[in-house]
Structure 1
């Protein structure tokens, strides 16, 4: 139905252009808004007939007495999605306004459509975000399931929680959530805004390849307006574990490669175990382990580990001779006490590098 606020907007905008008195009437016959404020809240007898018949009613000087609290003019039904939602009345000589009355009706229906669609979208948006928040807080699943069908989410495993870190300084005229509403209009997903710059997607019944394809297409469309980094959490088989999937998705963002747009939790799972990387103990360990290494030697270690300790591949990527690489590795051994070619020592050096990168 038409709200009082919307009715006032219709009256204001229409009268501004027509210079005629306009009444917007509720389906119960009560005038919601009017250029003649004394008529607001009164019952319009002519509008009641329009509601009953769903047809245009013309009131003249001759038949005016038949309709309570009515004046000469034309009263037209207002529809939204084939349902009568109100009546708009134009005061004046019917002969003078008959030609453009249908245009007023059409314009009003367009305004009502836009406002009610926006209202429905906002309602669905809040419902999605409430459902997601309940899942994160591990509310009883039966309570959540009752609302899932209302938003078109048909829950089937596996479930993937995804978090999107959106640069708020690059927001365009259309919000990121509004864009996702258009993008996922035919998909069984829950999406919305969860934190200040944090947006979520909960995917049902899709495999990893399909998810990546979908997200890649989304990024292609929004790249012009938004800077986005995506974290994909571990798949779970029940909605009760959606909170775990989302937690791992956030870890994928936090600990993932900052140069990559999409990060999987599996890629950072080991490093995510080191959440206390900013603790005094972690800082002491990092400084003690790497303090005598210059940037060249640290970079050598990074490339060495990225190449799975393969001397040939590492020396080629660094652009140095294999003997030079061996010399540098020996230097690292001498300076730190840990031999990067030995598995147990390599683990310690790798963790120290991870922690050092986490400080940045």
Structure 2
């Protein structure tokens, strides 16, 4: 068994220090794979085959030529199968009291090593599966067949309602760079340990049943594909996000002086729907961090987020038509003042008194600027339909300005 081979020498070194007797471990073919005397590793140990065959504890006699030392050998079992043999070197009457104790300890360590290996294997499968889902497209038959196979293997129910959550570590790259130059301990700290610790903590916070999948997308972004098995599951989840985020931030702040934010997509129950939920969570995170960076929870289905997304969702042809409407306004030297005044006027429900009070601008100044906009664009700021077009056109232009140059 490979697990025993991987941990045999480590077990030997830790155990022999305690009981003060030389120890050896052979595999199920009688080859020594761990020994207090490392020169014996790789030697065939004949008595081990007898122990394996009979599945009993055997006393060994000293045979110098065959390099067999006196002692007691006991079978090591895993899932009721003999996987190797433990040998304690010494006078059989003296060491037999230790055999069962050490045997139990070795078998427990094998079980723990196997459990850990299975957990890591599943996490790698989940990681691969999550990446398959977020890049899912309906017209790729080969890849989609692999996704369905992975879903079956992981017992991922495609018909359960789910929502994608993103957890982003805020300013992680900047903080990491700063710490590496000022903190020697942090500079040498392996990043995979950080990722493992955060992932384990998120599993404690979000993992409520086997249908909840949690993985990482990068060092600073984690994903939760949360199952919603009951009618109110989504509502309950959203209501609990503040508390969950507080726990996450307490953990991050105490250990790494970092904080996080959360974005949630919409609810879906199919592969394409989960993919869409992920992309919508990304949109919600981007919009939220740009327009409301002080807020730490961003929901895609909130009206403000949907409104912010509107310019991005329009076709390029439609965007161009909107931009033509305000082209004369964009050319004005005081465009920024006129545009911000109009946006504020819309934000405060097209109510002059409310806009004036909250924007600290005289009512007559707002009226003058709105009339100026109407004169330049031929769009009437007293008309809801015209205001809607004008607002969307300005948002399109601002989005265009914000895009990085290629």
Specify the SS of the correspondent of 2:245.
Answer: helix
Q: Can you list the C-alpha shifts for 1:268-327, whole angstroms capped at 9, x where unaligned?
A: 431433799xxxxx9998996286348776654444333333334434433566555445
- Within-5 A mapping of 1:82-93: 85-93=83-91
CA distance 1:337–1:20, shift in 2 (3 Å): farther
Return the structure number with greater helix share: 2
The answer to whether the 8 Å contact 2:323/2:393 transfers is no
Specify the SS of the correspondent of 2:394.
Answer: helix
The answer to whether the 8 Å contact 1:251/1:272 transfers is no
Specify the SS of the correspondent of 1:292.
Answer: coil
1:6 positional shift = 1.8
Specify the SS of the correspondent of 2:209.
Answer: coil
1:205 positional shift = 4.2
Distance 1:185 1:27 in 2: 40
Matched, 1:263 2:298: yes
1:124 positional shift = 0.5
Q: Can you list the C-alpha shifts for 1:203-251, whole angstroms capped at 9, x where unaligned?
A: 3445532442465454233212153333333444422454333333322
CA distance 1:246–1:300, shift in 2 (3 Å): same
Specify the SS of the correspondent of 1:223.
Answer: helix
Q: Can you list the C-alpha shifts for 1:62-106, whole angstroms capped at 9, x where unaligned?
A: xx67xx874322334445577655433222223443454455345
Distance 1:219 1:318 in 2: 33
Instruction: State the match for 2:285 in structure 1.
Output: 253
1:127 positional shift = 0.8
Instruction: State the match for 2:198 in structure 1.
Output: 176
Matched, 1:230 2:233: no
Instruction: State the match for 1:130 in structure 2.
Output: 128
Matched, 1:345 2:390: yes
Distance 1:308 1:52 in 2: 86
Instruction: State the match for 1:279 in structure 2.
Output: none
Instruction: State the match for 1:308 in structure 2.
Output: 349
Instruction: State the match for 1:189 in structure 2.
Output: 212
TM-score (norm. length: structure 1)? 0.75
Distance 1:291 1:6 in 2: 74
Q: Can you list the C-alpha shifts for 1:16-35, whole angstroms capped at 9, x where unaligned?
A: 55553222222343322223
TM-score (norm. length: structure 2)? 0.68
Instruction: State the match for 1:25 in structure 2.
Output: 26
Specify the SS of the correspondent of 1:120.
Answer: helix
Instruction: State the match for 1:59 in structure 2.
Output: 59
Size of the aligned set, in residue pairs, is: 353
Specify the SS of the correspondent of 2:392.
Answer: helix
Q: Which moved more, 1:120-129 or 1:185-194?
A: 185-194
Distance 1:46 1:219 in 2: 59
The answer to whether the 8 Å contact 1:290/1:336 transfers is no
CA distance 1:35–1:325, shift in 2 (3 Å): same
The answer to whether the 8 Å contact 2:158/2:269 transfers is no
The answer to whether the 8 Å contact 1:15/1:35 transfers is yes
Distance 1:283 1:16 in 2: 78
Unaligned runs of 5+ in 2: 177-190, 253-257, 317-321
Specify the SS of the correspondent of 2:156.
Answer: coil
Once superposed, what is the RMSD of the aligned Cα atoms?
4.2
Q: Which moved more, 1:167-176 or 1:24-33?
A: 167-176
| Residue among 226, 233, 254 paired with 1:203 | 226
